[in-house]
Structure 1
Amino acid sequence: MSSCPNGAAPMFLEWGNTSVTIDQTLARGIEIGIGTPQQIVALTPSSNDNDLYVVNKQACQPSYNDSCAGLFGGLFNPTASTSYVEVTQAQWNGTAEPNPNHLSHIYFNDDISFGNTIVDGFPAFMDQLGYGNQGSLPLGWNSTFLNAVVAQNATPSRYWSLWPGSRSIDYGVPGELVVGGIDETRFNPQNVATFQSVPECTLCAIVTG
């Protein structure tokens, strides 16, 4: 049980293979449903991002195929979602982030689901076609995802821990994102360490000596 004010338990989300097309093309990521009806995407957890990013279905046109969809962790088709609302950047309630390449983003709000939680009108964006990689789940300092799960009383806190698992072909093991706590079966207090990191990349450790 949680000792935090909202009494919620930590949320456990698997980081593993997710079917992202009707033909069951697999992509490794954290499974998120977006839109109405929901479209399944597999997002890569990112400590450098504050906003949820998905790849526009147009990124795989005109020769759409499952391999392309799998490469991006699934695709989002805004025209297929009845709850999709495109907005201007000024209207958007996401986080203002640097855009050094001056890319043209599409900002929108739509319903998302993860675990047993549904959030209506969640802020997200799509990149300019030809740029970007697999969609990402934001875990940065001002993450809209972490803010939302606490606001929904789905987790006790914005604290998170991540176990990557293994992508070994022969011995692959799913990873795990825990929001609001840690997986005590994978935690050894004797191995806890602190490190300096690159200012622009919180998980990029600085090696000295």
Structure 2
Amino acid sequence: MASLVLYLSATVLFAQSTVAFNCSKKPIYVDIHKRAVHDSPVFQYGSFIGLGTPSQNQSLWPSIAQNHTSFASHEYCSNSTLKSCDKSTGGFFNPEDSVSFVKQPSFQTLDRGSDASFSGSFGQESVRLYTHFFETEGASQTLLENSTVEVVTEGSIIPARLGMGSSSTVLRDLAARDMIAGRTYSLYIGQGFNRAGGAVNGSNTFGGYDSGRFTGTPHQYQMNIANVNPMSVRIKDIILTGTNDNSNVSLFDNTAFPEMKSRAADFEAQITTEQFPISLPYQITKNFMARTSAEKDKDNTWGDNSLRVKNSFNGTLSIVLEDGYTITIPSEVLVNASNITPIQERTEDSKAPFYLGSAFLGQVYLMADYEMNTFFLADAVQKNNAVMPVTFCPKSVPEAYQRPSQSQWQRQGLIGAVVGGVVGGMGALAALYCLVVVFYRKKDERKLQKELKKNEKTKMAQFDIEEAPTFDPPPSKVSKARFWKKT
């Protein structure tokens, strides 16, 4: 009897777990690119999102640490140390111009260990998620009403942030209102922002993933909820490859760096969008500097303490995770045109976490399942020709788009050769046919001329020649030829 009760209980729990998620819901795709934003004189890179009624359009930077979606008020730049603040906030929001904004003065923040980089007040507002597959086409809107947002009034960083942390209010509201399958989310950060210096746009997918944005089988990892950035991985090796001589060296290898007493131990690194550079342990950073002749950037060009190489270095850096998955930072990202690297300076006594910043995320596609506290990484297709959003049902494993399989003839181009041969052969036959027709026409014309001459001689032989009578001569050859000529 006890076993029957246990079986029934398990069946009920399984049914509840499957019914809880409506996996027939389509995902919501929001692209990331540079665009015009409210009350700003320049285009700014970010997620295409509007706020308020009427809409005040913004470009929001995805934050996988922050839970609230935040917007800059007009007074932010008066109380901020942000460089070029009027052109860097992602837009401005004026609550007084919106008829749907409701203040929430007693709301308590959901962000643990609140980021002291900015502060503001909370309210409920209509958030407009714009699906914009191509920049040349119009956008469609998903309206999320009465969602909690933060209006930032002072700080030192870009305040316009799309909160996609483990307690994301946007993700929570979308799932609770049955607008997406569950609290799942996917991100490609892109490279179209100034620090990255690229041209490839990114994307957010709420309740789904873009199956054409990654390749291969995704690698699955467990979130570490104790971290502010819960998506953490363990790194077991970092390999520096020289492109010119194709030489490899492990930054963990004590035989390549004699000052190390033993091989470096693996370490945990938090994946984050809060900074661009990658922050590594002190000894690993020193090894990188020694191998590439990198040094501290005295000007701190980007304000993120990225190292600068003295001379150009043409190589790649590969990060090997605990399960063997390897992510390679290409040479153009490892050292940019100004010789700035994405590796962050680090002091020996620093207690800060190790980070894999946006430079890392520019090479991978990130898919998070907050219902199960798991996430996936896969090689990103940086320039995809089509957007293919697919529902990301909680507890499932994302699958990359598989192009239709081709036969051996198709792969080797034999079909094209056969088609070309057939078409060419038909053309040759047509040309041969024309030659045959011309030949027989000429033959018929020659035969006709002979017949005319023969008839003429025969007629002349039949006449009795007399001296007196006269008669009209027979038609000339020219006239006969003209009579028989086809028109």
Q: TM-score range by the shorter chain?
A: 0.7 to 0.9
CA distance, structure 2, for counterparts of residue 61 and residue 93 of structure 1: 25
What residue number does 2:186 align with?
A: 161
Shift in alpha-carbon separation, 1:42–1:204, aligned structure 2, 3 A = farther
What residue number does 2:127 align with?
A: 112
SS in 2 for 1:126: strand
C-alpha deviations, 1:35-60, integer Å up to 9, x for none? 11110111111111111111111123
Contact 1:94–1:144 (CA<8 Å) still a contact in 2?
A: no
- How much has 1:99 moved relative to structure 2? 3.3
2:228 to 176, 183, 200: 200
Deviates more, 1:50-59 or 1:67-76: 67-76
CA distance, structure 2, for counterparts of residue 68 and residue 150 of structure 1: 34
Contact 2:67–2:169 (CA<8 Å) still a contact in 1?
A: yes
- How much has 1:175 moved relative to structure 2? 0.6
Contact 1:25–1:70 (CA<8 Å) still a contact in 2?
A: yes
- How much has 1:24 moved relative to structure 2? 6.0
Contact 1:37–1:81 (CA<8 Å) still a contact in 2?
A: yes
C-alpha deviations, 1:60-116, integer Å up to 9, x for none? 359xxxx6343011111112112222221x3x3863643374975311111111132
Q: How does 1:15-94 map to 2 (within 5 A)?
A: 15-21=32-38, 25-61=42-78, 68-88=85-105, 90=106, 92=107
- The aligned length equals 201
CA distance, structure 2, for counterparts of residue 164 and residue 174 of structure 1: 8
Name which one, 1 or 2, has greater alpha-carbon Rg: 2
Shift in alpha-carbon separation, 1:106–1:191, aligned structure 2, 3 A = closer
AA aligned opposite 1:112: V
SS in 2 for 1:148: helix
SS in 1 for 2:212: helix
CA distance, structure 2, for counterparts of residue 195 and residue 141 of structure 1: 13
Q: How does 1:98-137 map to 2 (within 5 A)?
A: 98-99=113-114, 101=116, 105-115=120-130, 116-137=141-162
Contact 1:94–1:123 (CA<8 Å) still a contact in 2?
A: no
Structure with bigger helix share is 2
SS in 2 for 1:123: strand
- How much has 1:205 moved relative to structure 2? 4.1
**Pair 1:5-2:32 in alignment:** no
Unmatched tracts of structure 2, length 5 or more: 1-18, 131-140, 237-265, 267-487
SS in 1 for 2:174: helix
- How much has 1:123 moved relative to structure 2? 0.8
Shift in alpha-carbon separation, 1:149–1:24, aligned structure 2, 3 A = farther
**Pair 1:180-2:207 in alignment:** yes
Could you list the structure 1 runs, at least 4 aligned residues long, displaced by more than 6 angstroms after superposition.
195-198
Deviates more, 1:8-17 or 1:161-170: 161-170
Shift in alpha-carbon separation, 1:69–1:153, aligned structure 2, 3 A = farther
C-alpha deviations, 1:128-147, integer Å up to 9, x for none? 42444231111111111001
Unmatched tracts of structure 1, length 5 or more: none
- How much has 1:190 moved relative to structure 2? 3.5
- How much has 1:200 moved relative to structure 2? 2.1
Shift in alpha-carbon separation, 1:8–1:69, aligned structure 2, 3 A = farther
2:176 to 132, 151, 161: 151
Q: What is the CA RMSD across the aligned residues, in angstroms?
A: 3.1
Shift in alpha-carbon separation, 1:47–1:22, aligned structure 2, 3 A = closer
- How much has 1:6 moved relative to structure 2? 6.0
TM-score with structure 1 length normalisation?
A: 0.80
Shift in alpha-carbon separation, 1:83–1:93, aligned structure 2, 3 A = farther
Shift in alpha-carbon separation, 1:22–1:128, aligned structure 2, 3 A = closer
CA distance, structure 2, for counterparts of residue 96 and residue 173 of structure 1: 31
CA distance, structure 2, for counterparts of residue 203 and residue 167 of structure 1: 23
